[in-house]
Structure 1
């Protein structure tokens, strides 16, 4: 269920900055039809840091309702307060959420023991499967392999999204934990290498606009057909990098709007629109046809009529 191509879903908004349910329905159907394996709702790419708690909860509930059990939904439930993370997690019990993605507490820089106690406490207060999320570049703390090993002993802590950027972490984690524990990449540009080294998939930003390609890449890699997977990756590698020339989700949201998947590319402050230079770079890459299937498919291209 939680292997392969998992999209870190963008949060579509209207011109006033309110959640756009029409666009949300469009992108969810797009992922279902392009064989994305699961959706992460309200993670970093979903702008969790600028949504109110009410919006956060309602957006995940809407995602579950629209998906109608056609694709697993993973709810972003991380917080820098353990109590808040528990309260948020419990909101999604028994409503159709398949698992939670819980980021390490940010800003307050807990110790390894603090991280262990944080996730232990969440695990003890919910029956929902928990996927840990380690992204030191954003949070200011690093969940180390030995701490992951300790946490893997809890039945409902089923895996980790490892976004430290250190590929050597895969073997370090795999040598400590049981075989069923999932190790998922948080970086598109190294995802293929990550899977080849023993990872189970990727929580992908690029998949927002190239779902079919990312799903095929991950499927081939998990079947150990690395030569074929590398051909797809070669076509996508520049796009992977371009989408991080400015802070995520600035480039990916602009690109999704440009090809017609969402009505607007509204962001909330302090996030702003990409620079003219970045826009030109993104357009140049889109024109190469790497995501042509989206642009030409009228089933999904229901909003944007202008050519790229």
Structure 2
């Protein structure tokens, strides 16, 4: 196996655009960007992706966080394009390449699992940085990797170091963790929604947009899942997990526009996504959602 993907929470931060629909790297909050689904990666040119990575790496270095890893989405519709995006990301300062199956070819790939496996194996062979599989069926036109296939891909491609399971399948996460037990392969929950049960069956963390609006609250949940020594510990984690799950669900229903709208309301960041996505029209209503407002209130006391 290659370099190990660290344990913890991963946050797919949005990318901000100015009034001319260009990347705004001077806007507060632009630095911690990961070009994944919530970061509108499909809307970005290769040059814009490189600019974001370079800006983030420079910012981390300037505050003595040189060892903080950068995970970058490099999904493309062909093996060749994906490898090139991974090479560009590595040259710009990325540490890990997050690779999703090419959904454009879902009709073919769903019926040809060997082709899907070859895609990941070939991309890993051509990538200069370790690859993390991104299993997110709604974004990949329904392509959903089976646990046995994930294990086989990992064994065939030593440069694949982990998987983020945004399919939400705790059973699959448990099977992958069991099949690859004893290796350095890292299995992560693709949502904070099921962080607690996923940790119990072998997850090393999660990726979630919730830390964008409630970072301290999210870290509190993570810390609780790492100290389950008694029934009281479990009950405390269950309580916080329920609050997080309800808030994340409400946030995900609003998508990128909702997240950017909330961040604009909270911090003044640019709220407009890139077309065809439209800006959230009812940010006030979203911020008053009882589950989101509950998390925002708890964030202030965390």
Q: TM-score, normalised by structure 2?
A: 0.85
Residues of 2 paired with 1:283 and 1:45: CA distance? Answer: 22
Counterpart pick for 2:79 among 57, 82, 104:
82
Alpha-carbon contact 1:182-1:199 (below 8 Å) kept:
yes
Alpha-carbon contact 1:191-1:202 (below 8 Å) kept:
yes
Residues of 2 paired with 1:121 and 1:287: CA distance? Answer: 41
Deviation per CA, 1:157-204, whole angstroms, max 9, x where unpaired? 111011112221122212322332111111222222222222111111
Residues of 1 paired with 2:178 and 2:201: CA distance? Answer: 12
Would the alpha carbon gap of residues 286 and 162 (structure 1) be closer, same or farther in structure 2, given more than 3 Å must change? Answer: closer
Aligned to 2:93: 96
Larger helix fraction of residues: 2
Aligned to 1:112: 113
Aligned to 2:173: 170
Alpha-carbon contact 2:17-2:274 (below 8 Å) kept:
no
Alpha-carbon contact 2:12-2:36 (below 8 Å) kept:
yes
Residues of 2 paired with 1:282 and 1:147: CA distance? Answer: 41
Matched, 1:271 2:277: yes
Alpha-carbon contact 1:170-1:199 (below 8 Å) kept:
yes
Deviation per CA, 1:82-104, whole angstroms, max 9, x where unpaired? 10000110112354322111111
Alignment RMSD, CA only?
A: 2.5
Residues of 1 paired with 2:119 and 2:37: CA distance? Answer: 20
**1:44-193 maps to which residues of 2 (within 5 A)?**
44-68=37-61, 70=65, 71-109=68-106, 110=109, 111-140=112-141, 141-153=143-155, 154-179=157-182, 180-193=184-197
Residues of 1 paired with 2:242 and 2:221: CA distance? Answer: 10
Matched, 1:253 2:260: yes
Alpha-carbon contact 1:64-1:96 (below 8 Å) kept:
yes
Would the alpha carbon gap of residues 281 and 266 (structure 1) be closer, same or farther in structure 2, given more than 3 Å must change? Answer: closer
Residues of 1 paired with 2:173 and 2:222: CA distance? Answer: 17
Q: CA deviation at 1:122?
A: 1.2
Q: Which runs of 4+ in 1 moved over 6 A?
A: 293-296
Alpha-carbon contact 1:105-1:139 (below 8 Å) kept:
yes
Q: Secondary structure at the match of 1:21?
A: coil
Q: Which moved more, 1:226-235 or 1:279-288?
A: 279-288
Q: CA deviation at 1:281?
A: 3.3
Alpha-carbon contact 2:215-2:299 (below 8 Å) kept:
no
Aligned to 1:236: 244
Gaps of at least 5 residues in structure 2 are: none
Aligned to 1:299: none
Matched, 1:201 2:205: yes
Residues paired across the two proteins, number:
283
Which one scores higher on RCO, CA 8 angstroms, separation ≥ 6?
A: 1
Residues of 1 paired with 2:16 and 2:56: CA distance? Answer: 12
Alpha-carbon contact 1:242-1:282 (below 8 Å) kept:
no
Gaps of at least 5 residues in structure 1 are: 29-38, 297-308
Residues of 1 paired with 2:20 and 2:33: CA distance? Answer: 24
Would the alpha carbon gap of residues 152 and 222 (structure 1) be closer, same or farther in structure 2, given more than 3 Å must change? Answer: farther
Matched, 1:282 2:279: no
Q: CA deviation at 1:279?
A: 4.2
